[in-house]
Amino acid sequence: MNRETGEHRHPLYEELAAIVGEEHVSDREIDRYAYIRTPSWVLGRVPGLVVKPADAQQVSEIMKLANRTKTPVIPRGGGASLGGFPLSDEVERSILIDLARLNRILFIDHENMVVGAECGVSLSHLSTEVGKKKLHIHTVDIPQYADSLGGVLSGFNGGGCPSDYATTGEAFHFLLGLEVVLPSGEILTTGAGSGTNIKQAQAADRTPGSPDMTGMFVGDAGVFGIKTKAYLKLYPRAASLAYGAFAFEDFEAMKAVFWKLMETDPLYYTRLVAIKPQWRDTWSLFYVIRDAEELVRFKADRLAALCTEGGGEKVTNELARKIISSFSGRQLGKSYASRGKFLYFEHPMKKGEAVDYFLRQEAFLDRRFKEAGVEGLITDRVRYLVPKERHMILVGDLVFWDVTTLSAEQVERLARISHEEAEHVLENGGFLEQHQGLETRISASYWSEAYRAFMKSIKKALDPNHILNPGLWRL
Amino acid sequence: MDHLLREKFGVYRCDGFGICRGGYHFKVSPCPMFVGSDGFESHTPRGVITIARGILEGSLAYTKEIADLVYRCTMCGNCRLLCGAEYEDGGPMIDPAGVLLAMRADLVENSLVPPPVRDFFKNVHRYGNPFGEPAEERGKWGEGLGLEEYEDHDYLFYVGCEGSYDERGKRMAVALSRLMALGGVSFGILGEKELCEGNEVRMSGETGLFQWLADRLVLRFTERGVRRIVTLSPHAYNAFRNDYPALAGGCEVVHYTQLLRDLLRAGRLRPLRELGARVTYHDPCFLGRRNEEYDAPREILRALQGADLIEMPRTREDSLCCGGGGGNFFTDMLGGGENSPSRMRVREAHGTGAQVLVVACPVCAKMFEDAAAAEGLDGALAVRDVSEVLLQCCSG
Ligand SMILES: Cc1cc2nc3c(=O)[nH]c(=O)nc-3n(C[C@H](O)[C@H](O)[C@H](O)COP(=O)(O)OP(=O)(O)OC[C@H]3O[C@@H](n4cnc5c(N)ncnc54)[C@H](O)[C@@H]3O)c2cc1C
């Protein structure tokens, strides 16, 4: 039994144990305490109790109990998001719902190319299982090893960047529908489920006869409901892959090729990154192409021709791997830990304005680092441009510091620069996505009055007792 | 919390990402502490590091519950690998097991260790072995084999506590002795002069007792002029290789699978009889992940005629711990049950269609034999040691 013996005994322990079974609920201090950690720089507050339901029905009963007693509820997936944690005093008596037991893959429907799964399932497990059938889902890149399906749909713009972001956009475009437990405890199915005018248990599309209410729950940080099931489109897994990089002496020349690639039809790259690590003098265009074997060859040849014509020079695959590893995959985790904390500036911008904007942001950062006297402490820096389909470019500047050499005051100064940078983005016509590192509270502080009022009215309608993730998005 | 303070850097370097909690492509986490638990975050490496941070910052204090928690870890090292947070030179950066070890050392110093751990230390200190058996019984396993006490042999066969006292381990020690004799290896044992090498003692945070054991063993080795040691257990192999600086340079340490591989390569062992079985091999944590020896046992199995080697999905560095490391073999802090790592692992082994689960560690052998029985796999999955299957194929 995971029952607290000291003074902190949660008043709802028995009732929750009756719902989920005693071994799946704990109000022991160590069990509660462990949940305050996410990758956010801000630690969470210790929840009052942790419960691990087995299915949507149990989640619903927990929500009904929480409503009756006006107890705050915090859903939790992989705990890998940087979106923040409710921080009010109320958290002390909250119920944290750890969704890890909702980990069943419901079906992999090869014929109709749909997969259904419970939302506590880990993304890596889900993508491995569909991969065994030579199928593919669009998931996030590195954090798939930590993220849950429900967490990724709730956090970071609802699914953020799959590795083929350049051609496919955000992962939530591939979401067909959800089962959600509303704050009231009601279980609702949207889109591809049977919630609207669909008589079949399973519909095939996201908008069968209603506005796109699935989208309302995407990227909500779990303030509107708790996702318990999700239905995703499946794609054939590409049989073949090619990767490489071309180096350009001249930034403008690279930009011209980059633009041409973004405009070319049909889409012929899967991933494209213009990248300049600190240890290289030149910019490189890195690509990964995934497709059928003959198409990969065809696309790679065309890409090579365009790059060479535009003044690019092919680098060895080993060097290409080294260049990209300063920024992607598990390497990011490695660099992060070995070189210390990073400041991650990454913002989407309209394609036509992205480069000028990027150069302005870069100059701003250079100036601020210099003024703050911390520029000499940078251990590594990676600048990059990543297309987001055809219309946008993500401009990024990833700056590493060796934490061992930073004083508390310098850390403080860096945090200030991070905030000033956000202001600068807005002044420059950019916008702040809830992108790696940006708390929902920070994003929401830039909402207009009208938008805030609109969001508040939705929240109030769905969650009149204000119990689900209170305080996130400043709601 | 002196020890934890020294590990502060590791605690604060954890980025809270939680990869150590997941399991890459597996539905189930590879962390033995987590899989066998009720599944709360506290039982993940990230959770323990968070608790350690709480202790450092004064929000939490060491309690019996924390002691029970940290002694569940088997020190398998899977979390360190999953974290991927390594220095560019390849050395480990964030080692959750290192943080746990520091917490254990603090608990030892504050006399807060759980009773089974306390008894384990007591036995080692009083009898020189965790089983609480008399030292005079130590060499009895080899009676009738004509073994010699080490004098000027090529190898000292360090049998270890499991090989000396545990029935399962003894069978392995016998098989290995026979093989070495067959291969013409000149070796001797220490018999009742042998002493626990203390790997599990160190892994349980009792650094003082470990040092006490190590000093005595090193003295016995040097008095006898030992130049080469072959160990039965990967745990002893790990300790001698990594935690006995006094042995470095002057004394070569090998695990028995490495010696047997060399004997096969040199043609000094000839496995002429067919094994005729589908086998799968389990990488022990202290041989594989911690000391990167994955190939020697496999090379031996591949040399056997009629041994069809099938890999389990989690293999080599992904291998799932048997649950016996970090002192758990003796203290059983992890506990049994359907979701215990050993039972999960025998189910995985059985799932490959193998008839034999081959191991290279006396701890794994015992853990899996018990688990196979608990799973009702007695007739369907035999648990054999590399030396046992090789001996079967070598004997005329
Ligand atoms: C170093 C780093 C790199 C990253 N890189 C990428 C990347 O390349 N691409 C990308 O897309 N993302 C990336 N991310 C972001 C990460 O994928 C998201 O933050 C994701 O939301 C985490 O999922 P989770 O399961 O851990 O969610 P959690 O952290 O558990 O939860 C996130 C939020 O959603 C809520 N929530 C969780 N589960 C549910 C549910 N079932 N229903 C309702 N609400 C729920 C929580 O209350 C919380 O507010 C990165 C993060 C880090 C730290």
Task: Report how far ligand 1's centroid is from the alpha carbon of A147 (Å).
Answer: 6
B119-151, pLDDT tens digit by residue?
999 999 999 999 999 999 999 999 999 999 999
**pLDDT value of position A335:** 42
In a domain, B225, yes or no: yes
Look up the pTM and report it. 0.91
Residue A434: its pLDDT value, please? 55
* pLDDT recorded at residue B89: 39
User: How far is residue A151 from each of residues B3, B40, B96, measured CA to CA in Å?
Assistant: 36, 17, 25
Residue B378's pLDDT is what?
86
B280 and B252 inside one domain: no
Taking residue A317's Cβ as centre, other Cβ atoms within 10 Å add up to 12
User: Is the distance from CB of A247 to CB of A181 less than 8 angstroms?
Assistant: no
Domain limit, last residue, from B212, B230, B263: B263
B101 within some domain: yes
Q: Where residue B328 sits, what CATH number does that domain have? A: 3.40.50
Region B236-241: what's the mean pLDDT?
A: 97
B216 and B177, same domain (yes or no) = yes
Which atom of ligand 1 is nearest the CA belonging to A157? 11
Among candidate residues B232, B212, B158, B208, the one with its CA nearest the CA of residue B188: B158
Residue B120 counted as domain residue? no
pLDDT at A378: 79
Dist. CA B121–CA B331, nearest whole Å: 10
Shared-domain flag, residues B89 and B180: no
Both B49 and B136 in one domain: the answer is: no
Same domain, B276 and B229: no
B106 and B132 co-located in one domain? no
Q: Looking at residue A339, what is its pLDDT?
A: 42
Across the range B312-327, mean pLDDT stands at: 93
Single residue among B263, B278, B306 that ends a domain in this structure: B263
Q: How far apart are CA B261 and CA A35, in angstroms?
A: 47
Where does residue B143 rank: exposed (0-12), middle (13-18), buried (19+ CB within 10 A)?
Answer: exposed
Residue with tokens 């005994």: A9
Task: Give the E-state strand segments of A142-190 in sequence order.
Answer: 175-181, 187-189
Residues B131 and B107 in one domain: no
Q: Is residue B118 part of a domain?
A: no
Please report the pLDDT score of residue B27 as a whole number. 60
Model ipTM value: 0.91
Q: What is the pLDDT of residues B43-73, one digit of tens each?
A: 999 999 999 999 999 999 999 999 999 999 9
Going by C-alpha positions, the residue among A139, A162, A164, A157 that lies closest to residue A149 is A139
Domain co-membership, B281 together with B169: no
- Helix (H, G, I), strand (E, B), or coil: what is residue A284? strand
In A, what residues contact B, Cβ < 8 A? 2, 23-24, 26, 28-31, 33-40, 50, 52, 78-80, 98, 100-101, 103, 121-122, 124-125, 128, 143, 145-146, 330, 333-334, 336-338, 403-404
CATH topology of domain A105-236: 3.30.465
Provide φ and ψ at A429, rounded to 5°: 90, 5
Distance (angstroms) between ligand 1 centre and the Cα of B51 equals: 22
pLDDT band, very low/low/confident/very high, at B315 (cuts 50, 70, 90): very high
Task: Determine the Cα–Cα distance for residues A176 and A193; give it in Å rounded to an integer.
Answer: 8
For A62, phi then psi, to 5°, come to: -65, -45
| Residue B216: per-residue pLDDT | 95
Q: State how far the Cα of B291 lies from the Cα of B242, in Å rounded to an integer.
A: 9
Does residue B203 sit in the same domain as residue B255?
Answer: yes
Among residues A206, A105, A109, A193, which one has the least CA distance to residue A148? A105
Q: Which of A232-241, B203-212, B344-353 has the lowest mean pLDDT?
A: A232-241
Cα A21 to chain centroid, rounded:
32
CATH topology of domain A331-434: GMP Synthetase; Chain A, domain 3 (3.30.300)
The architecture that CATH gives domain A13-98 is: 2-Layer Sandwich (3.30)
Query: Which of B242, B263, B284 corresponds to the end of one domain?
Result: B263
The pLDDT averaged over each successive group of 10 residues in chain A (475 residues) is 75 97 96 91 89 98 98 95 85 96 95 94 89 87 77 76 73 88 95 71 75 90 96 90 94 93 77 89 92 91 95 94 67 43 74 90 89 80 87 84 68 77 81 66 87 97 97 91
Chain centroid to CA A239: how far? 27
Domain assignment present for B311: yes
pLDDT at B86: 41
Residue-wise pLDDT for B162-191, tens only, equals 999 999 999 999 999 999 999 999 999 999
Please determine, for residue B92, whether its predicted confidence score (pLDDT) is greater than 60: no
Residues B130, B248, single domain; the answer is: yes
Is A119 close to ligand 1, i.e. is its CB under 6 Å away?
yes
| Residue A174 near residue A130 (C-beta atoms within 8 A) | no
CA distance A410 to chain B (A): 17
Chain B neighbors of A404, CB-CB under 8 A:
9
Which tokens go with B357? Answer: 């689960």
The three-state (H, E, C) secondary structure of B78-139, written as one string: HHHHHHCCECCCCCECCCHHHHHHHHHHHHHHCCCCCHHHHHHHHHHHHHCCCCCCCHHHHH
Q: A38: which chain B residues are within 8 Å (Cβ-Cβ)? A: 16, 18
Q: How far is the CA of B66 from the centre of ligand 1 (A)?
A: 28
Neighbours of B98 (CB within 10 A): 17
Range of the domain at B332: 270-394
Distance between CA B200 and CA B131 in Å, rounded? 13
User: Considering only CA atoms, which of A350, A387, A433, A388 is closest in space to residue A156?
Assistant: A433
CA dist A53 and A20 (Å) reads 6
Query: Are the beta carbons of B50 and A34 separated by less than 8 Å?
Result: yes
Answer yes or no: is pLDDT of B195 > 90: yes
Centroid of chain to Cα A276? 24
Please check whether residues B82 and B141 belong to one and the same domain.
no
Please give the Cα distance from B382 to B396 (Å, whole number). Answer: 22
Cβ-Cβ contacts under 8 Å, A143 against chain B: 17
Asked whether residue B379 falls in the same domain as residue B254, the answer is no
A373 phi/psi in degrees, rounded to 5: 70, 30
Query: Top-level CATH class of A240-325?
Result: alpha beta
User: How many domains in chain B?
Assistant: 3
